[in-house]
Amino acid sequence: MTRLGGTGGGRREGTGNGAEAVAWAVAEAVDGLADLWSLAAQAAVLRLSPHQLRALRVLQAAPGLNLTGLAEQLEIGLPTASRLCDRLEAAGLLERALHPHRRREVRLGLTVRGRRVLDDVAARRAQALADVLAAMEPDDREALRRGLRAFAAARAASASASPPSGES
């Protein structure tokens, strides 16, 4: 994975507690978390691509979604979504069923195996994160918790204060 700050002396991180310096530090931490997240997912019993895993998570959150809805959620085209579903169905992770009231519509859902795979990935990710957090000092873990809460609150406040895209 490419490091956002570059390598060697070309980093723009800076020092201090200014927003830009902290943004670079957070970007580096997010990059490390993404590596940790990806490696933990790849250690699962069944290795899935990030797109496959994301599709399963979308279907877990919205069971019964149709192909068009899945494609929109994943921001991919219908043919790509269809091939993705074909592979997930062949692996026994996804099932297709006719909509009870609209016979031409096919609903997508996770199989028991698909739910187990997602549970396995989530458990591995949580354990990998817990292992890293356990290596931190308790005061540092608490500072991280407070910082993440403050970040979430600031993000929520910023999102509610901003008009939706396309509006001015």
Residue 93: name the closest of 76, 110, 71, 118 by CA.
110
68 with 74: CB under 8 angstroms? no
- DSSP H or E segment with residue 124: helix 112-134
Of the pLDDT bands very low, low, confident and very high (cuts 50, 70, 90), residue 14 is low
pTM here is: 0.73
37 with 121: CB under 8 angstroms? no
Residue 95: name the closest of 148, 42, 56 by CA.
56
User: What is the C-alpha separation between 30 and 25, in angstroms, rounded?
Assistant: 9
Residue 59: name the closest of 80, 44, 73 by CA.
73
In this predicted model, what pLDDT tens digit does every residue of 102-111 receive, in sequence order?
A: 777 889 999 9
41 with 121: CB under 8 angstroms? yes
DSSP three-state, residue 125: helix
Mean pLDDT, rounded, for 1-11: 45
In this predicted model, what pLDDT tens digit does every residue of 80-109 receive, in sequence order?
A: 999 999 999 999 999 998 877 777 788 999
Write out the two tokens for 64: 């019964």
